[in-house]
Every structure is written in C-alpha cells, then in structure tokens.
C-alpha cells in the first residue's frame, strides 16, 4: 500500500470511527447512532417479532424484513457518503477501500461482516457473516433466515455504488451451514429504473 493509500485509508477509518459513535441523549431519552435516531432492541425481541410475523404473514415476512433492512442499508450508505463529502474525502480513488471499511467496520450489531471478494467486472460481491444476529443458535430451519441482513447489504451497496443490487443468501448458519454467505450482483443497467426492492 502506498503512503497516499495509507493516508487515505487512515482518514476513511477515522471517518467510519466517528460514525460508529453512539450518543445517549439522556435529557430527551433518545439514542443517536450514525447521526440517526435508533432504539436499543434486544436480539430476542427482534427474533420474537420475526417469528410472529412469519406466523401471521408466512413467506411475506421475509419480504417485509428485506425491505426494512434495505431501508436501513440505504440510509447508512447515504450517511456515510454525506460524511465523506463533508470531510472532503475524494471517493473516486478510494472507493474500493471506502466500501470495504464502510461495510466491514460499521458495527450495527448485525454480526462480523466480511467482503470475501468483489468482482467489479461482473459486478458480483461475495460477503460472509460468521455470527449473523438473525441466526437462532438453538434452532435449525429449512431455509436461510437472514432476510433483514440481505436487504441491508443490498441497500448499502446500492447507495455506495449508485447501482441497484440483487442478491441472495446462498448459505446460512440458520439452516446448518458453517456460516452465512451472501452473493450480490449488480442489476443490469436497463432495469435500473425499477425499484431495487
Ligand atoms: Zn444466515
């Protein structure tokens, strides 16, 4: 890595670090993370909501969670880009590093995310998560369970690269695989006008 690259990587790392900070606004009873309002939700409460949603809505629950995750990913991507712009970070040269840091080092509590490879030619990204928050360690399912995370990854990549991404969870710890693996692909340009969801 050249000194210029290292310099820009360090700046980007600081940028991500500044976004990872959490603010407890005790006077108003609010919590701000990533410059946005959040609530602290126990993982088991999320699991309970998801299970009930599945019971009531069946397969549609995956779609709903996917849309929710997509929205969060998009907003996070927007926040990151706005912050980079405000700090004068030139993203044209450092975009690959920026994307890696943005996706791997922003800790939303979803699990340890790793970009395994990103083929810019074909527009395919392989991502792994060893400890997805959507996996119930005590119960195996028939299908992949991490619909929110899949939506989140599609959302953040769509924002950062300004292209729509399709994707699927190809392996999931929830159904007995060693970990969760996601494959995202850039949607061909001709369809870019349609909704990414
Ligand atoms: Zn999974």
Residue 89 Cα, ligand 1 centroid: separation in angstroms? 34
Residue 174 Cα, ligand 1 centroid: separation in angstroms? 5
Residue 128 Cα, ligand 1 centroid: separation in angstroms? 9
Instruction: Enumerate the β-bridge partners of residue 14.
Output: none
By the 8 A CB rule, do 140 and 176 touch? yes
> What is the per-residue DSSP string for 64-105?
HHHHHHHHHHHHHHHHHHHHHHHTT--HHHHHHHHHHHHHHH
Residue 188 Cα, ligand 1 centroid: separation in angstroms? 26
* pLDDT at residue 17, as a whole number: 77
Q: Give the CA distances from residue 160 to residues 91, 150, 166, 170, 193, in Å, rounded to whole numbers and listed in that order.
A: 10, 16, 14, 23, 17
Residue 133 Cα, ligand 1 centroid: separation in angstroms? 8
106 by DSSP, 3-state: which?
coil
Residue 173 Cα, ligand 1 centroid: separation in angstroms? 5
Which of the pair, 62 or 191, is modelled with greater confidence? 62
Task: Give tens-digit pLDDT for 40-53.
Answer: 999 999 999 999 99
Residue 163 Cα, ligand 1 centroid: separation in angstroms? 24
* pLDDT at residue 137, as a whole number: 85
Residue 127 Cα, ligand 1 centroid: separation in angstroms? 11
Residue 108 Cα, ligand 1 centroid: separation in angstroms? 16
Task: Give tens-digit pLDDT for 128-172.
Answer: 999 999 998 888 888 999 999 999 999 999 999 999 999 999 999
Topology of 3-186 in CATH?
Answer: Muramoyl-pentapeptide Carboxypeptidase; domain 2 (3.30.1380)
CA distance 50 to 28: 29
Task: Give tens-digit pLDDT for 92-103.
Answer: 777 888 899 889
Residue 93 Cα, ligand 1 centroid: separation in angstroms? 33
Residue 44 Cα, ligand 1 centroid: separation in angstroms? 16
Which of the pair, 60 or 3, is modelled with greater confidence? 60
Residue 66 Cα, ligand 1 centroid: separation in angstroms? 13
CA distance 149 to 155: 10
* pLDDT at residue 87, as a whole number: 79
By the 8 A CB rule, do 117 and 182 touch? no
* pLDDT at residue 193, as a whole number: 52
Residue 181 Cα, ligand 1 centroid: separation in angstroms? 7
């Amino acid at each position: 890595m050249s000194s210029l690259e290292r310099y820009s990587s360090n700046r980007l790392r600081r940028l991500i670090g500044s976004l990872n900070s959490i603010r407890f606004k005790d006077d108003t009873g609010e919590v701000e993370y990533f410059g946005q309002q959040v609530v602290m939700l126990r993982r088991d409460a999320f699991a309970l909501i998801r299970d009930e949603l599945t019971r009531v809505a069946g397969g549609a629950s995956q779609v709903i969670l996917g849309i929710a995750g997509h929205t969060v990913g998009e907003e996070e991507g927007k926040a990151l880009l706005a912050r980079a712009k405000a700090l004068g970070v030139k993203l044209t040269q450092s975009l690959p590093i920026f994307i890696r840091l943005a996706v791997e080092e922003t800790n939303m509590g979803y699990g340890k995310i790793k970009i395994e490879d990103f083929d810019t030619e074909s527009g395919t990204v392989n991502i792994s998560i060893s400890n997805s928050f959507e996996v119930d360690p005590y119960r195996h399912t028939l299908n992949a369970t991490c619909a929110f995370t899949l939506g989140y990854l599609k959302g953040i990549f769509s924002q950062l690269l300004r292209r729509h991404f399709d994707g699927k969870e190809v392996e999931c710890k929830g159904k007995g695989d060693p970990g969760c693996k996601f494959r995202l692909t850039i949607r061909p340009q001709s369809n870019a006008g349609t909704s990414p969801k």
